[in-house]
Amino acid sequence: MNNSIASVPFPENEPIKNYKPNSQEKESVLKTYNKLKDSNIDIPMWINGKSVKSSKTMNMSPPHDHKHSLGKYYLAEKKHVELAINSALNAKEKWSNMPWEERAAIFLKAAELIAGPFRDRINAATMLAQSKTIYQAEIDAACELIDFLKFNVHSMQHIYSQQPKSDSGVWNRLTYRPLEGFVYAITPFNFTAISGNLPASAAMMGNTVVWKPSDHQIFSAKIVIDVFKEAGLPDGVINAVYGDPEMITNTILKSKHFAGIHFTGSTTVFKGLWKKIGAKIDEFISYPRIVGETGGKDFIIAHKSAKIDELVTAIIRGSFEFQGQKCSAASRVYIPKSISKKVLEKLKKQITTIKMGSPENFENFMTAVIHESSFDKLSRVIKKVKKDKDAKIFVGGGYTKSKGYFIEPTVVTTTNPKYYTMENELFGPIVTIYVFDDNKWDKTLSLVDETSEYALTGAIFCQDRYILEESVQKLENCAGNFYINDKCTGAVVGQQPFGGARGSGTNDKAGSYLNLLRWVSPRLIKEVFVPPKDFKYPFMG
């Protein structure tokens, strides 16, 4: 019998473990790291709950040790993508008709599994696959994914409880149907939490999903799949295929049942997807939902009243944690002349103490960038800066790829506020500083607003409340997540719903009810208890 109105547990953010020297948690995660490192694992696709292999494979290596093999994964052919689509369509009816409490229980169980028995595995896999330090892995793969799952379950209940008013004699009810068809999730390399959340959030609302993770995250995506299996996710609800993104996408878009895309990745790729979907709009049963969180060129602007030590810490953490490979990473900084000397001196002093290497060594603040093409792109940028007249390397600028793809934390200074590295997303540990005249505060705010196509995150450091208030207004459209006296990274689910506008995405705020609303198509049911029996209205006499 199911006749009660259930109330899901109230979500709390997952406490972050600190992995201090000699702690049990440090020892435990390193043991798992070494075990996984030598596991030489085979990762098949996951379709209709089964492991599916193909004739083609690709090797996986840690970016900080690219000659070491972690194992291989299997690449999809067209027939595997079609199998995944059919599997999602076949699973749909049973899954969407399952009481929402049961769906909630599966994802709450997944969250508890990550918090407990899978924590070390998901963190260690993220350290290996994406070269994250333990702290970066913990706040992403463990804590953020747990939070996504728990807060989304809570939001799901909130959405289902939103009902219209009913006048006397009438009862209006809203049901929140999943989309008609299947959802396509495409995830980026940089967050294990995003890889789990994009398919899970759509599935939670009763949809079934074909999921294509990034080639550079499959090693940790496999742990996400293991968690979903262990949590009891029925076969076919989420189907994972790997490989050629063009072929996979083209095959997906051939299906008239394609109902929506849940994407996180670069702006160029997202714009390409939007165009492809638009060109095929006559072929789908419904208008597909298009949700995409994309690139950023995130800024920090300091006022002369800023506290210097706080600013310096924010620049270092915001620009260099996870090698600057967060969509929210600070990559252009505006500093007033009056404090610039002190800020630059302190930056140099602290940055030269940063240790970089394997995530196994917990003294390292930074590790390697994700792959060779990223390394090559970043080293080309550094070479260009060294040649250009309007910019120079202030700190860093070194790189080597002999063992891993290592780029030193690099500060560029420029006299040109529209310099190449002030405008374009580089996605690496390179931050550019522009020093402005203290008297040109308003003009600099306009520069911040007009310099890039993106509007994801931004931060202001300022102690003067009048200036602060005016500036926050003036920078209204520059960032979907705006920080006052804080670095521009590190959004926490349930506290700082994340997403940007302009070239940075559709701003549907992953991890909040706003995002979940995109995966439902409400149906209104009106019931009249005593219907009228005469077509004439009183005004007709």
Give the three-class secondary structure for 6: coil
User: In this complex, which beta carbon is closest to ligand NAD, that of residue 120 or of residue 138?
Assistant: 138
Tokens, residue 418: 């529209």
**What would the x/- binding string for ligand NAD be over residues 188 to 207, using CB under 6 A?**
xxxx--x-------------
Active site residues: 293, 327
Pairing of strands 209-212, 520-528: unpaired
- Whole-number minimum distance, CB 166 to ligand NAD, in Å? 39
- Count of CB atoms situated within 10 Å of the CB of 232: 11
- Whole-number minimum distance, CB 188 to ligand NAD, in Å? 3
427 sits near ligand NAD (criterion: CB under 6 A): yes
Choose the binding region for ligand NAD from 99-107, 121-129, 141-149, 260-268 (rule: CB under 6 A).
Answer: 260-268
- Whole-number minimum distance, CB 517 to ligand NAD, in Å? 17
Q: What part of residues 317-376 is at the interface with ligand NAD (CB under 6 A)?
A: 327
Tokens, residue 314: 């924010």
For residue 296, the one-letter residue type is G
**Distance from C-alpha of 182 to C-alpha of 258, rounded to nearest angstrom:** 6
294 sits near ligand NAD (criterion: CB under 6 A): yes
Closest to 142 (Cα-Cα) out of 9, 12, 27, 15: 15
Q: For the CA atoms of 511, 516, 518, 522, what is the dihedral angle to 10 degrees? A: -160
Pairing of strands 454-455, 238-240: unpaired
**Distance from C-alpha of 248 to C-alpha of 81, rounded to nearest angstrom:** 6
Number of residues in contact with ligand NAD under rule CB under 6 A = 30
Q: Which residues contact 45 (CB under 8 A, 6 or more apart)?
A: 51, 52, 53, 54, 74, 76, 80, 84, 239, 240, 241, 242
Give CB contacts under 8 A, 24+ apart, made by 464-469.
Answer: 464/303, 464/305, 467/303, 467/305, 467/441, 468/303
Q: 457 — alpha (psi -120 to 50), left (phi > 0) or beta?
A: beta
Which one of residues 71, 178, 236, 295 is an interface residue with ligand NAD (CB under 6 A)?
295
- Whole-number minimum distance, CB 293 to ligand NAD, in Å? 3
Asked if 458 and 296 touch (Cβ cutoff 8 Å), the reply is no
**Distance from C-alpha of 239 to C-alpha of 89, rounded to nearest angstrom:** 11
Choose the binding region for ligand NAD from 37-45, 78-86, 181-189, 283-291 (rule: CB under 6 A).
Answer: 181-189
For residue 234, the one-letter residue type is P
Choose the binding region for ligand NAD from 74-82, 180-188, 412-420, 464-472 (rule: CB under 6 A).
Answer: 180-188
**What would the x/- binding string for ligand NAD be over residues 445 to 464, using CB under 6 A?**
-----------x--------
**Which residue of this chain has its Cβ atom nearest to ligand NAD in the complex?**
265
250 sits near ligand NAD (criterion: CB under 6 A): no
266 sits near ligand NAD (criterion: CB under 6 A): yes
**What would the x/- binding string for ligand NAD be over residues 492 to 521, using CB under 6 A?**
------x-----xx----------------
User: In this complex, which beta carbon is closest to ligand NAD, that of residue 43 or of residue 273?
Assistant: 273
Distance from the Cα of residue 91 to its chain's centroid: 27
User: In this complex, which beta carbon is closest to ligand NAD, that of residue 37 or of residue 297?
Assistant: 297
Q: What part of residues 211-230 is at the interface with ligand NAD (CB under 6 A)?
A: 212, 214-215
Which one of residues 269, 467, 468, 514 is an interface residue with ligand NAD (CB under 6 A)?
269
- Whole-number minimum distance, CB 362 to ligand NAD, in Å? 25
62 sits near ligand NAD (criterion: CB under 6 A): no
**Distance from C-alpha of 520 to C-alpha of 508, rounded to nearest angstrom:** 14
Interface with ligand NAD (CB under 6 A) = 186-191, 194, 212, 214-215, 245-246, 249, 264-266, 269, 272-273, 293-296, 327, 425, 427, 456, 498, 504-505
